[in-house]
Structure formats: C-alpha cells, structure tokens
Amino acid sequence: MSSTAGHSPALSSKGSAPRPKGPTVQVEFGGQKVEVPKGGYYDRYRMNPNLDEVARDPAVGPEIDFFRKIPKKLVDSRVGLIYAPNFYYRTRSVQLLFLAPLDRLKSKLPSPLEPIVVYPGYGLVALTFYSYVVCDNDPYNEVSIAIVVRQPGKNSYSITQLLSSIWNRTFYGHVLSLPVDTEIARVRGVYGYQFPKWLANINLEMDDHNIKADITATDGTPDLKLDVPLPALKAIPSESSISTNNAINKIDGKWYQVTVQANPLLATQCLFPGNVNLSRNAGPLSKLLDELNVSTILRMDVIKDAQMVLNMPTPLKEFDNVQS
C-alpha cells in the first residue's frame, strides 16, 4: 500500500541492511544485487519451490494443502518475470486496532480513499508486527501502520461495510509505513509493489506467556516497543477461517489492489485489551502514531501460527475514472 509523503524516511536509500545469519550468497532481483541465506528457500527455489520438499521441512510441517490449491505462475512484473504468488508457509503476528480522529486519517489518505467510520468522528488504524518464519524469500520481520478504508466502488454506510468486512473476513486498507529487516524484502516491496518499505531492526517473540516486539532504526535509535501477556490461543482447523486483506495503493501513478490471504491455525482476538504496554519513542512509526492521534485499542489480534499468500498487484478498475 502506498505511503503518505514524509513517512518512509529511507524508502529511496538502502541504509545498513541487517545481514542474514550464517553464510550468504549474492543474487539479483529487480536489477538489484542482494545477499540471501546460502541454501535458503530463495537460493534453492527462486520463488518456485517443490511443495513436496517444503512439506518435509520440519519448520513447516506436512499440512500445506492450502498452497497446493493455489498454483504459481511465471508472470511479468515491474521487476521482470517472477513466479507468483509469494508463499509464506509459517507466520506469526500481533495487531492492535486503534480508534483515531477522522480529520487526522483524512489528512493522510490520498483522494479518493476514505476511512471507515466506526464511531462519530473516528476511524481505525491498525499497527501490526509480523514475523515470517518460513517463506519463499527467506525469514524476515515487518511492521505495518495502515488506515482501514472504505471498499472502493461501494456507497453503502460505513457501519454496513464494516459489519460486512467482519462477517466476510475481508478488509481494505492503505498502508502508510511498512519497514522490514532484510534487503530482499525491501527490494521486492519497493520495486515490485511500490510499498513504503525501508530497513530497520525488528523483533517479534512469542513464548508460552508473553509477546515482546520492537522496532529500532538500523543505527539503534529506538522507535516502538510492545510488551503484552500472551492470551489463551485457539487451534483453528485449516482453511476454516481464511481472511483477505486488500492493500489499496498507486503503482506508477495508477490505482492497484494487492490481496493477501491468511489461513490462521493458532490464534485469538481480544476486545478492549487492558494489559498492552506500547511505548513510543522518537522514531518514524512513533511519530506517525502521534500524528494520527491514535487512542483506544479496540481489539488485539494474536496469531501464533498461520499460512499466507501474497498476490501480485491487480488494477483497481473502480478508480479508473476518478481524478485525484
């Protein structure tokens, strides 16, 4: 999803990339040379893995039928021919959904995007820490700040759209910031999707009792830090609760939609969590949350195990005749 000017401080520069642990090899992606783990998924498969081999990986496990139903194709993209969609075989995440004043949200959204209204004068902002434990382009972490927006082309009331989204597990958003902690993830996001990505140090840990997450600049300057007790989790049958998140952004001046499908396996939701300790500092994400004036946390979503599919951008025809 695209960025509002001023909130991707290193989008056009590489910064100091946190290097992969262990031996690396240099590969070319989108005209950029990057280091990836030697013998890792990207080094071995170039995003076109043998799923029978993946199923034998103890870090993944044998239950990968979700991916077998989504065949990969060699497609043309902004970075040349690549295999798509991108598979994330094991992921975890924690998301905080905040109330924020509509005037602050509207100031960050490019026209014709509009925030969902959940309460008079207020919309929604999602802060999400992700850890991609096993995926086609090797392990990495990511942090997203996004505004929940109205579905393009739909004129129904906001509350109607919100209830429909919850019922159908389908949401629309505009990402303002999306830092990552590996160079190949940055290159893929910036050059392939024009996402607002830059390099940072990111951690997300979940043990049997606590969730700890943080993001700092590559020079060590602190930004956000999250500490919350791990709530009771529920095992979810595979493919019984698939959710779809749609990122709405401009690519090369035209509107596109990027769809992510998530298949949660071990997760929970907490309404109005009262034990969340989120500390803000002087970093860009802290500054952005301050500018959005986020307040009450309406919901916390914790996913300790999930599978995900990241699709290629598709043109958003609903905005074809809209001038922005």
For residue 38 the two structure tokens come to 């030697």
**74 in any annotated domain:** no
Question: For position 301, which CATH number holds?
Answer: 2.40.400.10
| Per-residue burial over 50-75, b = 16 or more CB atoms within 10 Å of its CB, e = otherwise | eeeebbeeeebbeebebbeeeebeee
Distances (CA, A) of 229 to 15, 220, 226, 308: 33, 25, 10, 25
Radius of gyration for the alpha carbons in the chain, expressed in angstroms and rounded = 19
pLDDT value at residue 317: 84
**Predicted confidence (pLDDT) per residue in 250-285, tens digit:** 999 999 999 999 999 999 999 999 899 999 998 999
The answer to whether the bond into 85 is cis (omega within 30° of 0) is: yes
Q: Would residue 38 count as lying in a domain?
A: no
Give the separation between CA 86 and CA 93, rounded to whole angstroms.
Answer: 18
- pLDDT tens digit sequence for 16-61: 445 566 899 999 887 889 999 999 999 999 999 999 999 999 999 7
CA torsion 151→2→200→44, rounded to 10°? 80
Count up the domains in the chain and report the number: 1
Contact 138, 88 (CB under 8 A): no
- Does residue 260 fall inside a structural domain? yes
Provide the pLDDT for residue 77.
85
At residue 2, the pLDDT reads 31
Residue 287 lies in a domain: yes
In a domain, 18, yes or no: no
Q: Which segments of 177-224 does DSSP mark as H helices, in order? A: 183-187, 193
State how far the alpha carbon of 6 is from the alpha carbons of 104, 224, 258, 287, 316, in Å.
15, 18, 22, 11, 25
Residues 6+ apart with CB under 8 A from 139: 131, 132, 133, 182
Average per-residue pLDDT for the chain? 89
Residue 216: partners with Cβ closer than 8 Å, 6 or more residues away? 200, 201, 222, 223, 283
Q: Which residue has the tokens 């992700």?
A: 130
Tokens at 212, concatenated: 């700890």
List all residues 6 or more positions away from 137 whose beta carbon is below 8 Å from its beta carbon.
36, 41, 42, 47, 86, 182, 184, 185, 188
Inter-residue contact 186 to 3 (CB < 8 Å): no
Q: How confident is the model at residue 14 (pLDDT cuts 50, 70, 90)?
A: very low
Q: Which residue has the higher pLDDT, 79 or 49?
A: 49
The answer as to whether 34 is a domain residue is no
Report the C-alpha gap between 301 and 205 in whole angstroms.
15
Write down the pLDDT at residue 208: 92
User: What does the pLDDT read at residue 297?
Assistant: 97
| C-beta of residue 203 within 8 angstroms of C-beta of residue 212 | yes
Owning domain of residue 233: 86-319
Q: Is residue 301 part of a domain?
A: yes
Determine which helix (DSSP H) or strand (DSSP E) holds 27, and give its type and residue range. strand 24-29
Query: pLDDT at position 187, please?
Result: 93
Contact predicate 86/309, CB 8 Å: yes
In a domain, 22, yes or no: no
